[in-house]
Amino acid sequence: MTALPDCQALDAADVLASKRAEFKIPAGKIYLNGNSLGPLPVRALAHSLTLIEQQWGEDLISSWNKHGWIDMPVTCAEKLGPLVGVAPGQLLCCDSVSVNLFKLLAVALQLNKPRTTVVSLQDNFPTDLYMVQGMQSLLGAGQCELQTVDEEDLLDSLNREVAVLLLTQVNFRSGAMLDIQSITQRAHELGILVIWDLSHSVGAVPLQLDAWSVDMAVGCGYKYLNGGPGAPAFLYVNKQHQAKVSQPLCGWMGHTSPFEFSPDYVPAKDITEFLTGTPPILSLGVLSAALDVFADVTPAQLRSKSLALADYFLALVVARPELSELQLVSPVNAEQRGGQLAFAHEEGYAICQALAAAGILSDFRSPDLLRFGFSPLFLRFADIAKAVTVLADIVAQRRFDEPAFKQRQKVT
């Protein structure tokens, strides 16, 4: 067997190595869960103190103008442009992925009347499916009808009766990745509008939404973007659609002149129509500062290191006979997956808890999946080597059999 590269040599050659210092990583912890919740960026901590103590504490309500609070959904989102391949005027940071999906589903169904079918995958992230089910319940099956299919049947399920195709690029369980460009092109040939969920992509996978003619997209701010728990999500609406739509959650911030306080709703004539309520300034400020960490790196650099970390982890696992009972469910081919690896094991939950007790933070997804995320900005190859060593010891010694590791917590 070919000798594996030394982790120290890999770290010495890492062009993103200096980025680790920009994060608050607790001593003794190896964090392989940035695909679920990113760690705290140092600058986000500093900015949040300024935001609270100075802008809110001293400048009070004048900060809406003085510090640009009112424009933060747009100014924060524009920092995302290079990561998703989007020209200005098409992105917003606001609300949650679920709420933004509701807005975009309603808009896409409007645009594609009289078609009513929304196609998605059976294994899509549940909130995406729930939002379509909620829309169907609200409008009735005559106006919105969800059809879910297996991935292998996806392209065959598309026809000229489908209004909307709702897909997640990176599967949250396996990490398997769909080809946005080719699927979007095929859908467009049939007159179908496509909404992409990029929650497990942005910050780890290069994206070119404009170049790929994507219609609409959503994504969350707290995974690879490190915007904090419950950070605002983002939405994208291609400029070609903006003048043709009217989103249904007509809050005052989506009004063309919100501070005229007119009793009649007149939607803004740009992306800000997709705003609803007052922007959550504290959480937007943290996300905005977190996005500054990406200002001097390229999507290609992020992708290259993420894949290198994952491939190193996988090679180390394969080299350990005691880990042969872990079944890889992610694609072996790195180009076919996002920034994570998933392994099936009947004791996956208990193994995850045993790892956490040893300072290795991963996560578990029902029914039996161990997930490891490979965030490129703060992880080292030495972290990967140590994590696999600890994992091998836990499995070989069956340390996961301790009763405490089998007690299910509310968040897994």
**What residues act catalytically?**
125, 197, 222-223, 371
CB 196 within 8 A of CB 180: yes
Residue 118, beta-bridge partner list: 146, 164
From residue 60, how far is each of 55, 154, 272, 284 by CA, in Å? 6, 52, 24, 17
Q: Within 10 A of 130 (CB to CB), how many other CB atoms are there?
A: 13
Cα dihedral 269→272→277→278 (10° resolution): -120
Task: Report d(CA 202, CA 211) in Å as an integer.
Answer: 16
The region that residue 235 occupies, defined by phi over 0 for left and psi between -120 and 50 for alpha, beta otherwise, is beta
Measured between alpha carbons, how far is 171 from 168 in angstroms, rounded to an integer?
Answer: 6
- Cβ atoms 323, 370 nearer than 8 A: no
CA 293, 296, 301: angle at the middle one, nearest 5?
Answer: 95
Contact call for residues 398 and 350 (beta carbons, < 8 A): no
Task: Looking at 21-125, list the stretches that DSSP marks H as alpha helix, in order from N- to C-terminal side.
Answer: 42-50, 63-66, 72-78, 81-84, 97-111
Coil vs helix vs strand at 207: coil
Are 364 and 7 spatial neighbours (Cβ–Cβ below 8 Å)? no
With beta carbons less than 8 A apart as the criterion, state whether 68 and 75 touch.
yes
Could you tell me if 373 and 360 are in contact, meaning their C-beta atoms sit under 8 angstroms apart? no
Cβ atoms of 341 and 310 closer than 8 Å: yes
- 3-state SS string for 162-173: EEEEEEECECCC
Query: CA–CA distance from 189 to each of 87, 96, 159 (Å)?
Result: 24, 31, 9
